[in-house]
Amino acid sequence: MTTERSGAEETARASSLGADWTVGPDGVRSRRAARVILLDDAGRALLVRGHDADQPERSWWFTVGGGIDGDETAAEAAVREVREETGIVLEPAQLVGPVLTRVGIFDFFKETCRQDEVFYAAVVPHVDGPDRTGWTDDERELLDELAWLSADELRAQPLEYFPTALPDVLDQLARGWDGAVRHLGTEHD
């Protein structure tokens, strides 16, 4: 016997993703997110390598960031995520941009997810061994490392990275942001 769930029941169904992911009319869990491209003086970006618990053999590189909580602005969420994931303390005024937007669609915890992302940039001093004490239990389980990578190093290494335009964006930001927001549209990660 098949039963249909109401929208409220679907929204309330259990998920490993967390309460900030809501089920949209199309049945896909979605959230808004803020990300930061952290650059050192040499133009290298501090990136995160992580994996899905359901696909531990697959890992990829991505920028620091995460979900926007409640009434936070995207800039407030961005600086909070930088502090939590790296220990680097920024103020919203130190952010440049937004420099990039995209909608990322990906599978995570055996669910299809949609994340509406806004990306900022910030130049920070190079920090060896960024602080991971702000990581949640899930982040400790799913995030493998933080590393400073140039655009060329990112292109040369064998793992996937997201967004797919990230090396080109790093090249542009290393020369200085031109003031234009790049809209990447929808990407399937």
- What is the set of domains in the chain, with CATH numbers? 25-187 (3.90.79.10)
> Strand 111-123 and strand 160-161: pairing?
unpaired
Quick one: pLDDT at residue 13? 45
Q: What is the pTM of this model?
A: 0.86
Quick one: pLDDT at residue 16? 64
For residue range 137-188, list pLDDT tens digits in order: 878 888 888 999 999 999 999 999 999 999 999 999 989 999 999 999 998 8
Quick one: pLDDT at residue 4? 45
> Does the pLDDT of residue 12 top 50, yes or no?
no
Quick one: pLDDT at residue 130? 77
Quick one: pLDDT at residue 54? 76
> Does the pLDDT of residue 5 top 50, yes or no?
no
For residue range 56-98, list pLDDT tens digits in order: 788 999 999 999 998 999 999 999 999 999 999 999 999 999 9
* CA pair distance 62, 28, nearest whole angstrom: 22
Residues 6 or more apart whose CB falls under 8 angstroms from that of 100 comprise 37, 117, 118, 119, 163, 165, 169, 181, 182, 183, 184
Quick one: pLDDT at residue 108? 72
Quick one: pLDDT at residue 135? 81
Average pLDDT over residues 46-51: 92
* CA pair distance 41, 22, nearest whole angstrom: 39
Which segment of 13-22, 108-117, 157-166 scores lowest on mean pLDDT? Answer: 13-22
